[in-house]
Structure 1
Amino acid sequence: MMNVLRAARSALDKLGVRFAVVLAVALLPLTIVSVLRSQSVISEARSQSEAALDGETLRVVSRELALIEEAKGAAIALAEVIPQLMANPESCMTSMKRIVDAQPFSFAGYYDLTGYIACSNADAPFSIGLTEDLKAQISDPRTTVLVNRDAPVSGTSVLYATSPMYNEDTEELTGFAAVSVPHQALAAASEKFTGNVAFLTLNWDGQILTSTMPLDRADQVLPIDGEIIDYLGRLEPFTRKDRTGVLRTYSVVPILNGQIYALGTWPEASISKNNFYMSSPGMFPALMWLASLAVAWFASSLLVTGHVLRLRNAMRSFTQDRSPTDIASFRNAPQELREVAQAHADMTDQLMRDEALLEDTVRQKEVLLREVHHRVKNNLQLIASIMNMQMRGSKSPEVHQLMRGLHDRVISLATIHRGLYQTTGLADVRVDELLAEIVQQVVRIGAVDHKAIEVKTQLDELHLNPDQAVPLSLMVTEALTNALKYIGAQEGQQPKLTVELRSLDGDMAEVLVKNTLPSVVAPPEKIESTGLGSQLLEAFCQQLYGEMEKSDDGKWFTVKVGFPVEELTPKPGE
């Protein structure tokens, strides 16, 4: 979780991401307005679609209704004349046949309350029996329209209109006059629709009379909730799922005084079919928001962030390899960024001039410092020469010995200054090279009476600041002087002198000077006396913040000093 928060915080630190967040927030109100407007458009489109469904329903079933209305009128008329025609059954049957031939009817006739058809366009009387439809008509006698899927006369599915007939004297129900219209004739009069669009006519009992789709599948488009009769009284369009689970919009229009209803339906998806805006009202504003955000992002990158990144790269290049800033690459940038780039270019030019001036000054100071070291070395050598002349003219051994010690120390200082002005970099000194020269110089000068000394050096490469190199060199010089003073060897052996410089782990170093002792060794008290040499060794060791160890095993006398190596001081201009 912390890694995610850290990554998010790191991303928000970037200029481009912050631009994107600000632009997204700025464009969000427009997106919300677009979504609300889209919902309003969808609602308006749905209302228009429902109104169109009402009109289309009436238009589609109008010709079917005309045939149904004609059949009902014929049934009512037959109910008036059949009682007179029944006096002559043959004449009645002839009249019924004439009516069927003249109209798009498949049946015209009369049946009593038992279902016996005494007069019709059939060749002979017959009986249909007491059917459920007949029972319903007897219980509620009125002019109505019904469906018979297997009519006895035509043998096809028909829609028939019936009208009750009464006895003129007793006014008792005696039977019904009926006129049938084949569904084939109704289908020929209706329009054909593809897909899931359907228009139906239903009677007052919810029975499907006609349909623009096959009649055996027409009930599949009816609402799945409740009975269709429950929806026939609705005046406003409504939306429900049909019996196949498809969401549909329905429109019910009552016609023929509420005895027949026209029902039109199409899937809800028909409103938005082939219309991306209508099918995804929220997607279009979201895409517009993303497109606006992308355009704004591109504009900000083109006008701001791209030039800022270019300026950042120019700064990095200057930091890494002092590459100059190409002002021409910012010619298309806004004025403010061009001014920033120009200020950066001016600053880098001034900085490079200042660095060049500083390097020149440092070189001059290096030359002057080298000259100082050279002249100090020359002066010290001059002093040493004068002291050497004084030693030659001195008759006293004590004075001669004192002058010899001072002469050796002056020569050591001269050697150190020669190493300082000869070194390649004044910020540090190669101590191993310097100590090798000091050993050679001191042994050459101080071992006049011991020409056969075996000198062994083991010096690791080590760089020190001059502040450490000078006291270390003086300390080694003093240790060598003391070693040469007391060096000796066992009988029949050659005197030996060893100088070692070791670079240790942990920024530590160690210097060791040891010499062989003569067979007759002076007492340690004399070696570790409080003379000038011992005092100088202690003083130089303290300047190095080191620790000194002296040891004497009877054959070797050892001086070992361990000290920390300070971090090198950077060279001016680096």
Structure 2
Amino acid sequence: MITIPTARKRKGLVFRVTVFLSVALAPIGIIAVLQTLEVMHQTARSSELSVLTLTRDAASREQLSLERAFGAAEALGAVALSLRRDGERCDSYLRQFIEANPKYSFVGLLPRDGIMTCSSTEQEYDFTTFDRFDEIMETPRPVVEANFNAPLSGTSVVIVSQPVFEEDSFVGYLTLSIPHDWIDPTADLTRLEKPIGLLTFNAFGQILTAERGVDTAMRQLPPDLDLTRFVGSTSDVFVAEDSNGQERVYTVVSIIPETVYALGTWTSDQGIASRVRPAVWSVPFPILMWIASVLVAVYALDRLVIRHVKSLRGQMVSFARNRTLPSPLKGSSVPSELSEMRDTFAAMANRVILEDADRENVMREMEGLIKTQNELLNQKDALVHQKSILLKEVHHRVKNNLQLISSIMNMQQRTATHSETRQIVGRLQDRVLGLAKIHQRLYQTERIDKIDAGAMIQDLIGQMSRLGSESIVPQNINVSAETIQLFPDQAVPFSLLVSELMTNALKYARAPEGQAPTIDVSLIEEEDDTVELKIANSISDERAPPSGTGLGNRLVQAFVNQLDGEIIVEEASDEYRVIVTFTRSEFVPEERDY
């Protein structure tokens, strides 16, 4: 069972020293492992070269026979090429060659059209239907194939084909057939170490010769082994299981470059072949030596340092919990550095005890100051609350007084006999009620320093619609007002401005016959704290002519100036529009002369 260190143990000195020593000694261990692996690799490579050499020696008879056949084919090709137009002389010359060299059973000149007319049998043959005919004609190169039932030779043969050229132009192949009886893979093997199986194959993966027959050779090979994968390589060594599940060492060498290859089969415990696979037992030895070195170093460090550090740590914990002064470290093997550390800790402990006493006195004084501060803060909160109540009461009473004045004006308006007088009193009443709404908002909101301009517009318009005079035509009023917080310094002139503009809109709003006049009111705030008030009323050709003294216009301009804003008046064929813009400002208290 593997125990995983906890977080506390991982932070411990033993664990960290073990890790650091492991890292410090790791290069030595790695070098030892790498050197061991290098020796094993060199041994395996030397063994591979040895078995490759033995495989090449074992296939020397086939190599010699094939090289001689290619040499003869090259020489015969030049002669046959000169005699190819005289069929009888060409056949006679090739027949005499076979009679003089009984190790060859057939020779013939195969032209590119596939119709052989010059051969040692003095007969004509058609090779166009043979396997790979088009492939070898398309790419001229030396070719070796096997035919275990050759119709021309009447026996099992190895067919050697050498390309023939005339003035760098490919003409065809000079083909030689060598009976398998003349190629004995074991005839010249006198070495004690030789493969248990040897075969040769061509660039197409076809087996040419086999020491113990093709069937036996196939059983000694790994299942589904593709021999064409070795084509193009000069040598190869690999370990695999044969068809019977036995582990074998296989060697592949090229005996005719890129044309014929020899494959030897060795048992895994057979002499040099047994050293092809390196022994894995030699790798753990340097690793064990590295582990032993780390353990010895950790043990020495524990005896000299760690156990004394743990003792000193225990004294520190005891002092932290119970203020127990440290005692001298026991043992004669205590390093001088740790003894000095213990003395320094003892001096520090005495000083800490004295500072604790002083700190306790300071804390008592601080507690008294904090208590006094809390009492002052409570008094301040009470004063602020009292001030808020008084301010709300003031706003409430001002609002009541303004409503009282509005009621008196309303009574006066009803008793007036002239319509002009009633209109003047009504306008004054609207202005007074506008101020009253501001004070009402101030004492009804949680914060008495700001007023919601959007809600105030809703109240003013609703109030003016209810108290409208008889000269005001009924209208459709559309209000779109955002929530915008204004300080009282801006809220007062703003409410009076809205009252004046709405009075004019209610007074002069007209519409074509059969339609109701409309008034659109909008209040928006842009990103740069700019507030835009827009009041538009519909008009018609039969609108009422302007009347009055112009006081309303002067008041509107005065209120705009108080807001530090701008006013734009636009008039179209069916609408009269007033746009006021100003910047929402923060509250700035007035300077006082004390």
Instruction: Give the alignment's TM-score, normalised by structure 2.
Output: 0.39
Structure whose CA Rg is larger? 1
